[in-house]
Amino acid sequence: MEDFEQERSMVNVLKRIKDNGFTEDFRVTEAGLCTMNDEKVYQPEDVQIVDFYRFEGNSNPDDMSILYAMETKDGLKGTITNSYGPYADAEIDEFLKQVEDIGKNLDKDDK
Protein backbone atom coordinates (compact mmCIF):
# COMPACT_ATOMS: atom_id res chain seq x y z
CA MET A 1 0.00 0.00 0.00
CA GLU A 2 1.28 3.47 -0.88
CA ASP A 3 1.71 5.95 1.91
CA PHE A 4 0.04 9.37 1.75
CA GLU A 5 3.19 11.13 0.51
CA GLN A 6 3.48 8.81 -2.48
CA GLU A 7 -0.22 9.21 -3.31
CA ARG A 8 0.17 13.00 -3.17
CA SER A 9 3.28 13.18 -5.31
CA MET A 10 2.92 15.48 -8.30
CA VAL A 11 3.58 12.60 -10.68
CA ASN A 12 0.75 10.51 -9.24
CA VAL A 13 -1.73 13.39 -9.04
CA LEU A 14 -0.87 14.48 -12.58
CA LYS A 15 -1.40 10.94 -13.86
CA ARG A 16 -4.78 10.73 -12.11
CA ILE A 17 -6.08 14.04 -13.46
CA LYS A 18 -4.77 13.28 -16.96
CA ASP A 19 -6.73 10.01 -16.76
CA ASN A 20 -9.77 12.24 -16.02
CA GLY A 21 -9.34 14.14 -19.28
CA PHE A 22 -7.02 17.01 -18.32
CA THR A 23 -4.52 16.16 -21.04
CA GLU A 24 -3.42 19.54 -22.43
CA ASP A 25 -0.28 21.19 -21.06
CA PHE A 26 -0.87 24.92 -20.81
CA ARG A 27 1.58 27.78 -20.50
CA VAL A 28 1.15 31.52 -20.01
CA THR A 29 2.59 34.06 -22.44
CA GLU A 30 1.98 37.76 -23.01
CA ALA A 31 -0.89 36.70 -25.29
CA GLY A 32 -2.67 34.68 -22.57
CA LEU A 33 -3.04 31.02 -21.65
CA CYS A 34 -1.72 28.97 -24.55
CA THR A 35 -1.63 25.37 -25.59
CA MET A 36 1.95 24.17 -25.88
CA ASN A 37 1.92 24.44 -29.67
CA ASP A 38 0.31 27.92 -29.52
CA GLU A 39 -2.60 26.57 -31.55
CA LYS A 40 -5.09 28.16 -29.14
CA VAL A 41 -4.84 31.18 -26.84
CA TYR A 42 -7.27 31.97 -24.03
CA GLN A 43 -7.92 35.07 -21.96
CA PRO A 44 -8.78 34.92 -18.23
CA GLU A 45 -12.50 35.15 -18.94
CA ASP A 46 -12.22 32.04 -21.17
CA VAL A 47 -10.81 29.80 -18.42
CA GLN A 48 -11.98 28.20 -15.20
CA ILE A 49 -9.81 26.65 -12.49
CA VAL A 50 -11.43 23.29 -11.76
CA ASP A 51 -9.04 22.17 -9.01
CA PHE A 52 -5.56 22.74 -7.67
CA TYR A 53 -2.97 20.78 -5.69
CA ARG A 54 -0.14 22.16 -3.58
CA PHE A 55 3.08 20.23 -3.13
CA GLU A 56 5.82 20.90 -0.62
CA GLY A 57 9.29 19.43 -0.72
CA ASN A 58 10.16 17.23 2.24
CA SER A 59 13.57 18.69 2.82
CA ASN A 60 13.80 21.81 0.69
CA PRO A 61 11.32 24.71 0.72
CA ASP A 62 12.46 25.54 -2.82
CA ASP A 63 10.51 22.46 -3.98
CA MET A 64 7.09 24.04 -3.31
CA SER A 65 4.79 24.01 -6.33
CA ILE A 66 1.15 24.11 -7.29
CA LEU A 67 -0.65 22.23 -10.05
CA TYR A 68 -3.83 23.70 -11.54
CA ALA A 69 -6.45 21.66 -13.41
CA MET A 70 -8.17 24.05 -15.83
CA GLU A 71 -10.97 23.98 -18.38
CA THR A 72 -11.51 26.45 -21.20
CA LYS A 73 -14.84 27.75 -22.45
CA ASP A 74 -14.57 25.48 -25.51
CA GLY A 75 -14.09 22.39 -23.32
CA LEU A 76 -10.32 21.91 -23.54
CA LYS A 77 -9.00 20.49 -20.26
CA GLY A 78 -5.42 20.70 -19.11
CA THR A 79 -2.94 21.64 -16.44
CA ILE A 80 -0.38 24.27 -15.62
CA THR A 81 2.17 24.26 -12.81
CA ASN A 82 3.90 27.05 -10.96
CA SER A 83 6.14 27.45 -7.98
CA TYR A 84 4.76 29.44 -5.11
CA GLY A 85 6.42 31.88 -2.85
CA PRO A 86 9.50 33.78 -4.00
CA TYR A 87 10.14 31.43 -6.94
CA ALA A 88 6.69 31.79 -8.52
CA ASP A 89 6.44 32.89 -12.14
CA ALA A 90 4.83 36.35 -11.92
CA GLU A 91 3.20 36.05 -15.36
CA ILE A 92 1.42 32.81 -14.40
CA ASP A 93 0.42 34.26 -11.02
CA GLU A 94 -1.08 37.38 -12.59
CA PHE A 95 -3.05 35.39 -15.16
CA LEU A 96 -4.43 32.98 -12.55
CA LYS A 97 -5.34 35.85 -10.21
CA GLN A 98 -7.43 37.36 -13.01
CA VAL A 99 -9.13 33.99 -13.59
CA GLU A 100 -9.89 33.68 -9.87
CA ASP A 101 -11.21 37.26 -9.63
CA ILE A 102 -13.54 36.73 -12.61
CA GLY A 103 -14.79 33.50 -11.01
CA LYS A 104 -15.50 35.29 -7.73
CA ASN A 105 -17.50 37.97 -9.54
CA LEU A 106 -19.51 35.33 -11.39
CA ASP A 107 -20.35 33.61 -8.11
CA LYS A 108 -21.70 36.89 -6.70
CA ASP A 109 -23.81 37.56 -9.81
CA ASP A 110 -25.48 34.15 -9.48
CA LYS A 111 -26.80 34.86 -5.97
> What is the percentage of the chain residues whose pLDDT exceeds 70?
81
Give dist(CA 95, CA 111) in Å, integer: 25
Question: Looking at residues 28-46, what average pLDDT do you find?
Answer: 94
Give dist(CA 24, CA 71) in Å, integer: 10
**Residue 64: its pLDDT value, please?**
85
Question: Looking at residues 46-66, what average pLDDT do you find?
Answer: 82
Cα-Cα-Cα-Cα torsion 3, 7, 11, 13, nearest 10 degrees, comes to: -170
Sheet holding 32-35: strands in order across?
41-42, 32-35, 24-29, 77-83, 65-72, 47-55
Give dist(CA 59, CA 48) in Å, integer: 33
How do the domains of the chain map onto residue ranges?
4-110
